[in-house]
Amino acid sequence: MSEPTPLHPEQCFARLAVAVQELNQQAAAEYAPIIEAILHTHSLDKCHIERTLDGLLDFCGYKPALQLYRRLCRYYWDIDSAAATDYVNAYRITWDTEETNEIAVGRNAMRKNFKA
């Protein structure tokens, strides 16, 4: 049996990019109904909300996932503003540039930066 022809680096990168995009789309599609249920039922289950935010944070480089994350952070603000601020900071540390990370996060900063 012959060895398969190795892929060129450009082909590997293109395949990886497609796989990441598909994973981002799948994550947004799977998290959307979870977030809708939290919002629709007016859930106060902090553990459930935080698990959802923790998982969704990994996909916030994808705009639809970021929009879901922002919606849930805004909702969570009225339940636990300190924890919601921690999630805004976690987003900034993970996804923002260095210049944006240096901005202090307070109530006004969160509302300004997490508007839809």
Burial class (CB in 10 A: 0-12, 13-18, 19+), 3: exposed
pLDDT value, residue 70: 96
- Stated as kind and residue range, the H or E segment containing 116 is none
Low-confidence ranges of the chain (pLDDT < 50): 100-108, 111, 116
pLDDT value, residue 8: 74
pLDDT value, residue 101: 46
pLDDT value, residue 69: 97
28 in Cβ contact with 65 (< 8 Å):
yes
pLDDT value, residue 116: 45
DSSP 103: S
Structure tokens at 91: 């987003």
pLDDT value, residue 11: 78
First to last CA, the chain: 56
pLDDT value, residue 107: 45
Q: SS3 string of 5-62?
A: CCCCHHHHHHHHHHHHHHHHHHHHHHHHHHHHHHHHCCCCCHHHHHHHHHHHHCCCCC
C-alpha count within 13 angstroms, C-beta hemisphere, residue 3: 3
CA dihedral 52→54→59→65, nearest 10 degrees, is 40
pLDDT value, residue 113: 55
pLDDT value, residue 104: 43
